[in-house]
Amino acid sequence: MAGPPGASGHVPSASPLLQLLRGAEVFAPAPLGVCDVLLAAGKIAAIAPELPALPPELCRVHDLRGHRLIPGLLDAHVHLIGGGGEAGPSTRVPPVTLSQLARAGITTVVGVLGTDGTTRTVADLVARTLGLRDEGLSAWCYTGSYELPVPTLTGSVRRDLVFVDPIIGVGELALSDHRSSQPTLDELLRVAADVHVGGMMAGKAGIVHLHMGDGLRGLDLVRRALDVSELPPRVFHPTHVNRNRRLFVEAGELVARGCSVDVTAFPPEDDPGDSLYAADAIDRWIAQGLPVSRLTCSSDGAGCMPVFDAHGHICAMDVGRPTTLSDTLTELLARGQELATVLPIFTTNVADLLRLGHKGRLAAGADADLVALDDHGHIAGVIARGRWLIQGGQTVVCGPFERSAS
């Protein structure tokens, strides 16, 4: 690859107006073969087997022969300002950084609060979301946390969606978990109705992103909500459905009713117990012939992953890492899964669910969010909105405070 466009600790000045990526094997996510890709002003301008050369003073050329070029990954569940806090203030996880997301190939991210909607606020989350946009990523967030009533910025779920640009839904509202507010069916329906109508009014996704715990009730509340209401199934998006095998079976049954579900890329060193690693869950999903279009994968990056004993005491703790998302994709390829088969789980499926039509795909007019993979499936380059963040496997753009912190 050519030299980095800028290697300062902060976001560099704008990239060249035109960039030509030569000779990569392109997956859009459908395979397009070896193509050139022209980027212009943060967008994909053209994709073709061979694009004409342009004057060097107007266009920077990058040789990507031997690489696979895919859409930037979308992660719909990251604790942008840090998660945790279940065992006191010292267990609050630090905020996620730009380079942590970039190294995972994530070019679009959606932030969540998690358990703690008391010492962490929706205002903080919105501010960090806007900050990541300034740093070069595409970022949105959910209003709310595990709890009810839903913590909001404006005092209303519907107003949050209508008046606060980055907010696209409610999440992660907890079900079947001892840390939840133990919501009733009526309470879940009221939140889902508000987020659905708010999404319609604002032209946004309007989904309820549901944290699923280990409780025996599983997805029962979601099934009952579909039974008794007129709400479209797409409003409900349960995550962590691979946290135990019983819940994973329920999730497979739920998609037949029109819902999409999300598996979490748990850290590989975690003892899986009764859970399924994300790659195992995706393998099983495909082997069972379940609709791949209804499956997404997220990292739970910067989220605390506590292990509780029978008395509710934390006996172990880990932290989610954004890189588990790209690691899961790499592992699937190493197992022999076809890239075109599994790639939508990390790209178009997420973009379509979140109604971000300009994300998750490589096509003329789409945002210039791309990841270059080497022949082992590892990330060699990341472009977000036309700007290189990773090049030649090296981080070339960091957040404004990352170097001082190191």
| 91-100, 103-112, 123-132: the lowest-pLDDT one | 91-100
Residue 168 has pLDDT above 70, yes or no: yes
pLDDT of residue 311: 62
CA 43 to chain centre: 20
**Are 191 and 217 within one domain?**
yes
Residue 44 has pLDDT above 70, yes or no: yes
Q: How far is it, in rounded angstroms, from Cα 125 to Cα 109?
A: 12
Counting Cα atoms < 13 Å in the Cβ hemisphere of 294 gives: 22
Does any domain span residue 288?
yes
**Are 174 and 31 within one domain?**
no
Beta-carbon contacts of 155 under 8 Å, excluding residues fewer than 6 positions away, are none
Does any domain span residue 11?
no
**Identity of the amino acid at 35:** C
pLDDT of residue 402: 86
Active site residues: 300
**Are 233 and 166 within one domain?**
yes
**Conformational region of residue 43, where left means phi above 0, alpha means psi within -120 to 50, and beta covers everything else:** beta
Higher pLDDT, 141 or 309: 141
Residue 145, domain CATH: 3.20.20.140
Q: How far is it, in rounded angstroms, from Cα 41 to Cα 148?
A: 43
pLDDT of residue 303: 76
Q: Torsions phi, psi of 127, nearest 5?
A: -65, -45
CA 289 to chain centre: 24
pLDDT of residue 91: 76
Q: How far is it, in rounded angstroms, from Cα 147 to Cα 6?
A: 43
Beta-carbon contacts of 90 under 8 Å, excluding residues fewer than 6 positions away, are none
Bridge partners, 391 (sequence order): 394
Q: Residue 175 corresponds to which tokens in the numbers above?
A: 């079900």
Q: How far is it, in rounded angstroms, from Cα 347 to Cα 10?
A: 27
| 100-104, 272-276, 283-287, 365-369: the lowest-pLDDT one | 272-276
pLDDT of residue 11: 42
* CB 360, CB 71: distance < 8 Å: yes
pLDDT of residue 2: 42
**Are 192 and 287 within one domain?**
yes
Residue ranges for the binding site? 77, 79, 211, 240, 300
**Are 94 and 52 within one domain?**
no
* CB 340, CB 332: distance < 8 Å: no
The string of DSSP letters for 208-220 reads EEEEE-S-TTTTH
Share above pLDDT 90 across residues of the chain, in percent, rounded to a whole number: 81
- The pTM of this model reads 0.91
Number of domains making up the chain:
2
pLDDT-derived band of residue 308, with 50, 70 and 90 as boundaries? low
Average pLDDT of the chain is 91
Beta-carbon contacts of 147 under 8 Å, excluding residues fewer than 6 positions away, are 117, 173, 174, 180, 181
**Are 398 and 325 within one domain?**
no
pLDDT-derived band of residue 13, with 50, 70 and 90 as boundaries? very low
Does any domain span residue 13?
no
Residue ranges for the binding site for Zn(2+)? 77, 79, 211, 240, 300
Q: How far is it, in rounded angstroms, from Cα 2 to Cα 59?
A: 13
Residue 321 has pLDDT above 60, yes or no: yes
> What is the average per-residue pLDDT within 366-376?
96
Picking from 128, 61, 114, the residue whose alpha carbon sits closest to that of residue 239 is 114
Does any domain span residue 200?
yes
> What is the average per-residue pLDDT within 281-298?
98
**Are 217 and 273 within one domain?**
yes
Q: Torsions phi, psi of 67, nearest 5?
A: -110, 155
Q: Give start and end residues of each alpha helix (H) in 203-307.
A: 220-228, 245-254, 278-287
pLDDT of residue 85: 63
Q: Torsions phi, psi of 290, nearest 5?
A: -75, 155
Residue 184 has pLDDT above 60, yes or no: yes
pLDDT-derived band of residue 4, with 50, 70 and 90 as boundaries? very low
Q: How far is it, in rounded angstroms, from Cα 220 to Cα 182?
A: 13
Q: Dihedral sign, CA of 85, 89, 91, 93?
A: positive
Does any domain span residue 3?
no
Does any domain span residue 166?
yes
Residue ranges making up the domain that contains 150: 73-353
> What is the average per-residue pLDDT within 341-354?
98
**Are 41 and 54 within one domain?**
yes
Q: What is the pLDDT of residues 144-164, one digit of tens each?
A: 999 999 999 999 999 999 999
Does any domain span residue 234?
yes
pLDDT of residue 309: 60
